[in-house]
Amino acid sequence: MRLLFFIRNISVSRRTTGWEHDPTERRVHELLFCRSGEGSLVHEGGRARVRTGSLLFNPRGKLISSQEALSVVQVLFSEELFSPSVHMDREALYVLGLIKLHAQKQNHIELSRIGTERMNTLVDAMLWEFRNRYRGYSWALRLKLIELLITVMRDTQFKIPIKGLRPLASTRIQDAVSYLNTDYMNPITVEDVLKSCGLSRSHFHALFKRETGRTFVQYLSALRCAKAAELLVTTDRPILDIALECGFRNLSHFYHVFKREHEISPKQYRLLGGAAS
């Protein structure tokens, strides 16, 4: 049976991290949240400090405490918990994608004091639901997991800029931007977006350019390229599959738009691990 969600408290003095799962399943993730203690995550690239408030995303290496054992919460979850056909779930997958992108540069986040307090409350609630399994517990866990992702995204220590989710002066354009961020993988026309924001075509184009600094087509292309760039460096999936999943019509169109956006081809971007961006 495929794992969808698992959570537990563990005490760590010395532990090899990196949950091993079916190599054909690339969408299961491990989070380790340090509730107390100090130590290090030692890996091939060096050593990362771990302390109260550290959140490790898909860590690999040896987790070693400095003195007393680390108190850690382990969360395993599958992306299959979220359905791309549900608006809220698409938002959750988008945020998860940003966290995965962050993890390419450093697989741990030092949460702020407020973020740490919020995370402690969330994992306590998740542990309670998982242990007791009262009616509706699976929905409760799913909602708490979404809250967890949002907590990470909003934390002051999260350094990836959240394009498209920042507050905009016009709530109408914010609605349009939210629509694009959650439906970019599907064919989208201006008419589709106009229905979500209630503006005339001419007013929409002028306001959208003023608010975002890009035209509608430029913004959508950049958004699709950003998602494709993430998949290029975080997966080994074929480039054609990535292009189609991110809303491009065909491979040649994807190469043309991606090179215009990043100044190198998707293949070169993958080989460089995104370093050129």
| Structural domains present in the chain | 5-154 (2.60.120.280), 171-271 (1.10.10.60)
Output the pLDDT for position 167: 45
CA distance 226 to 181: 11
Tokens 């382990």 found at = 74
Q: Per DSSP, which regions of 79-197 are E strands? A: 108-110
Neighbouring CB atoms inside 10 A of 171's CB total 10
Output the pLDDT for position 176: 82
Are 95 and 149 in contact, with CB atoms under 8 Å apart? yes
Are 268 and 258 in contact, with CB atoms under 8 Å apart? no
Q: Which residues contact 238 (CB under 8 A, 6 or more apart)?
A: none
Output the pLDDT for position 23: 46
Are 27 and 80 in contact, with CB atoms under 8 Å apart? yes
Output the pLDDT for position 192: 85
DSSP class of 64: E
Output the pLDDT for position 85: 65
Are 272 and 264 in contact, with CB atoms under 8 Å apart? yes
Output the pLDDT for position 119: 93
Output the pLDDT for position 164: 46
Our measurement of the distance from residue 136's CA atom to the centroid of its chain's CA atoms, rounded to an integer in Å, reads: 25
| Grouped pLDDT means (10 residues each) for the chain, 277 residues | 79 82 62 92 82 88 89 90 71 74 68 91 94 91 90 76 50 77 84 81 90 90 91 90 92 94 91 67
3-class DSSP state for residue 236?
A: coil
Closest CA to 123 of 2, 4, 3, 6: 6
Interior/surface letters 198-237, b for 16+ CB within 10 angstroms, e for the rest: ebeeeebeebbeebbeeebeebbbbbbbbbbbbbbbbeee
Output the pLDDT for position 1: 38
**Using CB atoms within 10 A of its CB, is residue 254 exposed (0-12), middle (13-18) or buried (19+)?**
buried
pTM for the model: 0.58
Output the pLDDT for position 175: 74
CA distance 61 to 18: 7
